[in-house]
């Protein structure tokens, strides 16, 4: 998924990438990019299989849905974004979807209920 996204993104933004002056970019910017790529993305994806051993898939998937809300909140707190009705509507829709998903039953629960009905 990341490979195809990189290919498509590079083709779309090639003109901007090719004219960007990488030599005048402060080193702190590179460290911040590395933190996001390695710390917040790479290590997170490494931890997902570990979490799948002990958590239900619905609980684990909530993390992916709540991540943009947390990022938006942090951006708003640092003054890098605005807060309006669009963000409120998006948060309500995300929380509604997470609630609906967490109310679903696992296959084991459904099979157990089916056995109880047959008994």
pLDDT in tens, 10-52: 999 999 989 999 999 999 999 998 998 888 778 878 887 887 7
Domain positions in the chain are 1-54, 56-119
Closest CA to 72 of 89, 58, 60, 57: 89
What is the per-residue pLDDT for 40? 78
Q: How confident is the model at residue 53 (pLDDT cuts 50, 70, 90)?
A: confident
pLDDT digits (tens, 9 = 90+) for 97-107: 878 877 777 77
Which pLDDT score, from 0 to 100, does residue 109 have? 77
What backbone torsions phi and psi does residue 82 show, to the nearest 5 degrees? -105, 165
In 3-state terms the chain splits into helix, strand, coil percentages (rounded to 5) of 85, 0, 15
**Best-predicted range by mean pLDDT among 26-30, 70-74, 115-119?**
26-30
Which tokens hold the place of 101? 């998903």
Q: What are phi and psi of 44, to 5 degrees?
A: -60, -45
């Amino acid at each position: 998924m990341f490979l195809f996204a990189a290919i498509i993104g590079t083709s779309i933004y090639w003109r901007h990438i090719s004219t960007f002056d990488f030599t005048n970019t402060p080193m702190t910017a590179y460290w911040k990019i590395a933190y996001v790529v390695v710390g917040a993305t790479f290590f997170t994806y490494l931890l997902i299989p570990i979490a799948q051993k002990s958590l239900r898939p619905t609980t684990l998937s909530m993390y992916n849905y709540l991540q943009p809300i947390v990022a938006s909140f942090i951006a708003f707190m640092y003054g890098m974004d605005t807060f309006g009705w669009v963000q409120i509507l998006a948060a309500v829709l995300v929380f509604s979807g997470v609630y609906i998903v967490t109310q679903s039953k696992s296959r084991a629960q459904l099979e157990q209920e089916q056995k109880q009905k047959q008994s």
